Amino acid sequence: MKKLIIITFITLVVVACNKKVDLSGEIISQTKQVESYNAVSNSSSASIELDSSVGVNEISITGDKTLVDNLEVNNENGQINISNKKSISFNSNNSPLIIKMNNPIFAKSGNCRCRLCCYK
């Protein structure tokens, strides 16, 4: 009986902490200017793609308005850090948030550590 109470409590905590977000259904695109960078760290729910149609030192963000508004992008000492402002989860098989960037450093090198161009 004691184990059942503990398991029930843990289950309730996990379910309560897992906040599902309702997507707005409105797809938007934003372009952000960033300073020159040589590294990218992504701890968000977004997929990142290298795209030569995006201007150098620009980041194009496309996705559901709720997710785009929740995205935080900053440049710290030449490293672009991408994260979510609030921890969220959503039901989807594919990432409804795509970030496109263009950096000649990543496109030229065959031994970069960015995990964007070399590990596909």
CATH, residue 95: 2.160.20.120
The rounded distance, in Å, linking the Cα atoms of 44 and 35 is 20
On whether residue 60 sits in a domain, the answer given is yes
On whether residue 4 sits in a domain, the answer given is no
Question: What tens digit of pLDDT does each residue of 75-98 get?
Answer: 999 899 999 988 876 665 555 789
On whether residue 101 sits in a domain, the answer given is yes
Token pair for 105 = 């450093």
Question: What tens digit of pLDDT does each residue of 23-69 get?
Answer: 778 899 999 999 988 889 999 888 888 888 999 889 999 998 988 99
Total domain count, the chain: 1
The rounded distance, in Å, linking the Cα atoms of 105 and 36 is 10
On whether residue 115 sits in a domain, the answer given is no
Query: What is the chain's alpha carbon radius of gyration, rounded to the nearest angstrom?
Result: 18
On whether residue 80 sits in a domain, the answer given is yes
Residue 44: which domain range? 22-108
On whether residue 113 sits in a domain, the answer given is no
What's this model's pTM, rounded to 2 decimal places? 0.69
